[in-house]
């Protein structure tokens, strides 16, 4: 059997398949279906300093081969997470990644400092959030803002730090370079692509928030292209995601340059998607005569 283990930002994963933030909650519902230790890791729902109730429904819409969401970072806040969810998750024999979010650099710092005193294995910093002090532009949409928040959080924690990039930019490679320069240990990409749908009968947007983030199989080619561009721009590790629903998709995004992968929207269609993808990767290795899966990272042979 092939060796599926991978290393990202110095952290060992038994396999490269991580449940994506916002699509797995804290694992309680999934644990009724399978043993969470089968996963390479779990990235928990985006956590902010204080509790957030999220956006007004409707906040999910179906799209061809995907979905739009505008959940709006509904979460119980960092103290609740550390006290009530993290101790249980840390017993699950899988890598636990705390996904953090904020509306100001100060909020990111405070959340990261609180996590620094815990045994969480890695911090994934979502920089797709609006910076309220800069007119609501996303932190991840300019090199300056992305660099500033990375620099500040790097100082606030010595946990492995993975910065999660937004695809809603002209050059994601430039943003990746900016966060690498400020001490990010890894980058993860892609977050959702901004989209909109309208009910033609009522003439109202389907989402109450008007716009939302597109994910699911429809975005896979965008994710593959962006991972490949970032792989050619930085030396730090990459967690690739966006539209992965099969083992072959995971292998594809690894060939583009990812060291590990996350699976999000596919879980709503098939709650077993992550464990199925681990099995499919094992078969992929057998068919393609690969002994160690991590050897394929960045192995695309371009024309
Ligand atoms: C319902 C929903 C909620 C999400 N919540 C978060 C979140 O809290 N933090 C975050 O960094 N990404 C969040 N994401 C983005 C996913 O983690 C992932 O980056 C994106 O959906 C692309 O992967 P996929 O096509 O496999 O879903 C969310 C996605 C969905 C569909």
Separation of alpha carbons 120 and 243, rounded Å: 27
Count the alpha carbons within 13 Å of 269 in the hemisphere toward its beta carbon: 18
Q: Are 263 and 189 in contact (CB under 8 A)?
A: no
pLDDT in tens, 216-258: 999 999 999 999 999 999 999 999 999 999 999 999 999 999 9
pLDDT at res. 59: 96
Q: Which atom of ligand 1 is nearest to the CA of 60?
A: 1
The tokens of 54 are what? Answer: 């999220």
User: Considering just the CA atoms, what is the radius of gyration of the chain in Å?
Assistant: 18
Instruction: Please confirm, yes or no, whether 129 is among the known catalytic residues.
Output: yes
**pLDDT for 81 beyond 90:** yes
3-state helix, strand, coil in the chain (%, to 5): 35, 20, 40
Could you state, in order of their start, the residue ranges of all structural domains in the chain?
6-296
Looking from the CA of residue 216, the nearest atom of ligand 1 is 25
Q: Which of 23, 129, 162, 274 is catalytic?
A: 129
pLDDT band at 187 (very low <50, low <70, confident <90, very high): very high
Rounded Cα distance, 191 and 21, in Å: 10
85 contacts 45 by C-beta, under 8 angstroms: no
Spacing, Cα 234 to ligand 1 middle (Å): 23
Tens-digit pLDDT profile for residues 39-48? 999 999 999 9
Average pLDDT value for residue range 149-159: 98
Alpha helix stretches (DSSP H) within 117-166: 143-156
Which of 51, 167, 215, 240 to probe ligand 1 with, by most ligand atoms within 8 A of CB? 215
| Statement: residue 131 has pLDDT above 90 | no
- The string of pLDDT tens digits covering residues 261-293 is 999 999 999 999 999 999 999 999 999 999 999
On the question of a cis peptide bond just before residue 294, with omega within 30 degrees of 0, the verdict is: no
Residue 181 CB contacts under 8 Å (≥ 6 apart), including other chains = 147
* DSSP at 110: H
What pLDDT, on a 0 to 100 scale, did the predictor assign at position 18?
99
The pTM for the full model equals 0.98
Q: Which residues, other chains included, contact 268 with Cβ-Cβ below 8 Å and sequence gap of 6+?
A: 23, 67
Q: Write the DSSP symbol of residue 104.
A: S
pLDDT of amino acid 91: 98
Tell me what the pLDDT averaged over the chain comes to.
97
Whether the pLDDT of residue 194 is over 90: the answer is yes
pLDDT of 26 = 96
Tokens 């099969």 locate to: 246
In the predicted structure, residue 200 carries a pLDDT above the cut 90 = yes
Distance CA 275, CA 262 (A): 12
Architecture of the 6-296 domain: Alpha-Beta Barrel (3.20)
Three-state DSSP at 239 gives strand
Q: Residue 133 has what pLDDT?
A: 85
Instruction: State how far the Cα of 248 lies from the Cα of 280, in Å rounded to an integer.
Output: 7
Q: Which of 55, 123, 31, 44 is nearest to 77 (CA)?
A: 44
pLDDT (mean) for 42-68 = 96
Q: Are 48 and 185 in contact (CB under 8 A)?
A: no
User: What atom of ligand 1 comes closest to residue 69's alpha carbon?
Assistant: 1
CA-to-CA distance for 141 and 137, rounded, in angstroms? 7
pLDDT level of residue 136 (50, 70, 90 thresholds): confident
């Amino acid at each position: 059997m092939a060796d599926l283990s991978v290393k990202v930002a110095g952290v060992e994963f038994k396999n490269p398949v991580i449940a994506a933030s916002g699509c797995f909650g804290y694992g309680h519902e999934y644990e009724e279906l399978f043993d969470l230790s089968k996963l390479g890791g779990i990235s928990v729902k985006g956590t902010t300093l204080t509790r957030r109730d999220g956006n007004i429904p409707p906040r999910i819409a179906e799209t061809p081969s995907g979905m739009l969401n505008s959940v709006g970072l509904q979460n119980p806040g960092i103290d609740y997470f550390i006290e009530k969810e993290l101790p249980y998750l840390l017993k699950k024999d899988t890598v636990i990644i705390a996904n953090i979010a904020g509306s100001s650099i100060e909020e990111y710092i405070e959340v990261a400092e609180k996590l620094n005193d815990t045994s969480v294995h890695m911090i994934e910093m979502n920089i797709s959030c609006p910076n309220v002090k800069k007119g609501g532009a996303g932190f991840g949409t300019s090199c300056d803002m992305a660099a500033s928040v990375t620099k500040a959080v790097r100082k606030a924690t010595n946990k492995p730090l993975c910065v999660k990039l937004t695809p809603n930019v002209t050059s994601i490679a430039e943003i990746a370079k900016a966060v690498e320069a400020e001490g990010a240990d890894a980058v993860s990409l892609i977050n959702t692509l901004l989209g909109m749908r309208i009910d033609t009968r009522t003439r109202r947007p389907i989402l109450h928030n008007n716009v939302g983030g597109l994910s699911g199989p429809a975005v896979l080619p965008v994710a593959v292209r962006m991972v490949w561009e970032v792989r050619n721009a930085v030396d730090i590790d990459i967690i690739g995601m966006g539209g992965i629903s099969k083992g072959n998709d995971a292998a594809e995004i690894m060939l583009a340059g990812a060291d590990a992968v996350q699976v999000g929207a596919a879980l709503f269609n098939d709650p077993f998607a992550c464990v199925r993808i681990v099995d499919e990767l094992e078969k992929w290795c057998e068919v393609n005569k690969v002994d160690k899966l991590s050897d394929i990272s960045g192995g695309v042979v371009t024309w």
